[in-house]
A and B are shown apart, each in its own frame.
Chain A
Amino acid sequence: MDSDEDFLSTLSSDDDIMLDDSENDDMSNGDEFDDAFDEDPDDEPDLGLQKQKTPVAYDIGFKVYSPGDIQQQQEDMMNEVNMILEMSKEDAAILLRHFRWNKERLIEDFMDNSDKVVEAAGIVTSVANPPQLETLDGFMCDICCDDDEGLKSFAMKCGHRYCVNCYRHYLTQKIREEGEAARIQCPAEGCSRIIDARSLDLLVTPELSDRYQELLNRTYVEDKDTLKWCPAPDCENAVECGIKKKELDKVCNSTIEKNGGCNHMTCRKCKHEFCWMCMGLWSEHGTSWYNCNRFEEKSGTDARDAQAKSRVSLERYLHYYNRYANHEQSARLDKDMYTKTEKKMVQLQSASGMSWIEVQYLNSASQALQTCRQTLKWTYAFAFYLARNNLTEIFEDNQKDLELAVENLSEMFEKPISELADSKLKDTAENLANGMSPNKL
């Protein structure tokens, strides 16, 4: 792995004016984010756990990178590879992404068998002509079948040529709808040539280019073992530290984004089902040894010296804080779902022939969900302060029950209309709403 000094020392700028401009913009943005970050620790809910302020051994050094910094790091690596291997910066970028930013391995493998590497990464080497739109006589676009004279067309070095409109539409769809960036292939069937940044800039709107860059930054941070996104909501900075722990699906190693409130996650790639909170198998949840909400404290008794103790207490704090924060986020996502609910209610009426009053249960389900998430969130703050005794066991059992029921409801909520008509959702929602009102906790 590279050291950070590497990135910072080689601040060689390249010829690309457009990129330079956007970098400057990003840098100024980055400063703002830095400021925001500096103020953050004061806003953090301090539960009065860390009484001592002196630096201790478990403090791990870390660095914060703004989106501009992240981009700069990538640029530097691209420039380096571009110089060593004498290829265009865009091709270097594709190769680096293919090797998950492991520069040493790239260079080694490339020296070993450049043809194989280039083939696997989806690059077609040729003379470095800048990509451009062309107007060819007698050209017909294979996608829209348009053959108007003067129709502008584009092809990457693989030669699969399509008209500008279709290419643009294709890229927009990939970036906007599928969130794809690092591996957008040529539209031709079976062609694995990857689109490069410069060709993309030629074809799409600046907004889409920005989004593309953002997605690329994401892959970069996800590919680097030492980088991790700042966990605070809406924060765009990445953090670098020695700990390598990532939110990866353990089974197929693809990165996962939580886009709904439900914590029952299913990997889109390998269909592995797991719990977002503890990353354990979902199938284990709801069985007798489910303990996602409980912090195992047995390690605490083993702790001897003060250092280990404070580390344990920090872990304990994080355990509860993570769950607290997660329910808060889930509540927000559930709320987003609710804004879509009204539309759903109308659709449901027409789909199932229910009357307006009959689909009201969706509304009450959403409200129940919000209340429950709110309650759950604070039960973790509550649990943090509880001393361990038999009553806490009962408390945790109740907490577990509520959590399971809420995840069930949240999951049902995300189902398509056709399955919503099922009265199960209605029952669960009503049960939950009833269970909440006397507030057993």
Chain B
Amino acid sequence: MALPKRIVKETERLMSEPVPGISAVPHDDNLRYFDVEIHGPSGSPYEARVVLDRRLPHGAPKIRFLTKIYHPNVDKLGRICLDVLKNNWSPALQIRTILLSIQALLGAPNPDDPLAADVAKDWKEDENRAIATAKEWTSKYAVPGSK
């Protein structure tokens, strides 16, 4: 099946004007798949690798964290709780916007609307300790060279 024009356009746009702190590379054998590396905003304890499956233009893309991450809004399987991926998805939203939203989520974890309840609990009890754990997980699982 031919690739929808929208995907071609968006890929071109992502390549020519990349988002700061985010690199998105289309998969070799399936151009709807993207391997994404996200650096959390400065001061955030996160870096992550994400896989993105675009069902554009009309369905929301499927996104999952590949690297283990200690974050109240991401569960053990790497699934993300984010409004723009669920009920606030609109076909006019671009992949760029979605990726920026995820980056923002890394910068501002929201333990009041948790997906990973245990992480959220830690977060509320002792934020400093939780951030330390998040840093540790990042260096263990997500920094390039680690596995």
Contacts and interface: CB of A to CB of B under 8 A. Distances in A.
Interface of A: 142-146, 160, 162, 166, 169-170, 173, 178, 185, 187-189
A421 to B, nearest CB: 15
B22 to A, nearest CB: 18
Interface stretch (B35-43, B65-73, B87-95): B87-95
Contacts of B92: 142-143, 160, 162, 187-189
B129 interface: no
B57 A188 contact: no
Contacts of A162: 92
Given A166-B57, A170-B58, A173-B58, A146 B91 contact: no
25 contacts: A142-B92, A143-B6, A143-B57, A143-B58, A143-B91, A143-B92, A144-B4, A144-B6, A144-B57, A145-B4, A145-B5, A145-B6, A146-B5, A162-B92, A166-B57, A166-B58, A166-B91, A169-B91, A170-B58, A170-B90, A170-B91, A185-B90, A187-B90, A187-B91, A189-B92
B9 interface: yes
B90 A189 contact: yes
A144 B93 CA distance: 11
Nearest to B5: A145
Contacts of B87: 178
Contacts of B93: 189
Interface residues of B, number: 14
Contacts of B9: 145
A162 B57 CA distance: 12
Contacts of B108: none
Contacts of A166: 57-58, 91
| Chain B at the A interface: SS class | loop
Interface string B1-15: 000111011100000
A249 B5 CA distance: 44
A372 B9 CA distance: 56
Contacts, number: 39
A63 to B, nearest CB: 36
Nearest to B10: A145
A189 B97 contact: yes
Nearest to B9: A145
A185 B89 CA distance: 11
Given A145-B9, A187-B92, 20 more contacts: A142-B92, A143-B58, A143-B91, A144-B4, A144-B6, A145-B4, A146-B5, A160-B92, A166-B58, A166-B91, A169-B58, A170-B58, A170-B90, A173-B58, A178-B87, A187-B90, A187-B91, A189-B90, A189-B93, A189-B97
Nearest to B4: A144
List 5 A-B pairs, minimum CB-CB distance, nearest first. Answer: A145-B5, A145-B6, A145-B9, A187-B92, A143-B91
B84 to A, nearest CB: 9
A317 to B, nearest CB: 41
A145 B97 contact: no
Interface string B49-88: 0000000011000000000000000000000000000010
B86 to A, nearest CB: 10
B7 to A, nearest CB: 8
A417 to B, nearest CB: 14
Given A169-B58, A170-B58, A173-B58, A188 B90 contact: yes
A199 B91 CA distance: 19
Given A170-B58, A173-B58, A145 B8 contact: yes
A213 to B, nearest CB: 23
A173 B89 CA distance: 11
A390 to B, nearest CB: 43
A13 B106 CA distance: 56
A143 B87 CA distance: 18
Contacts of B91: 143, 166, 169-170, 187
Contacts of B57: 143-144, 166
Find the residue from A145, A169, A170 having the highest chain B CB count within 10 A.
Answer: A145
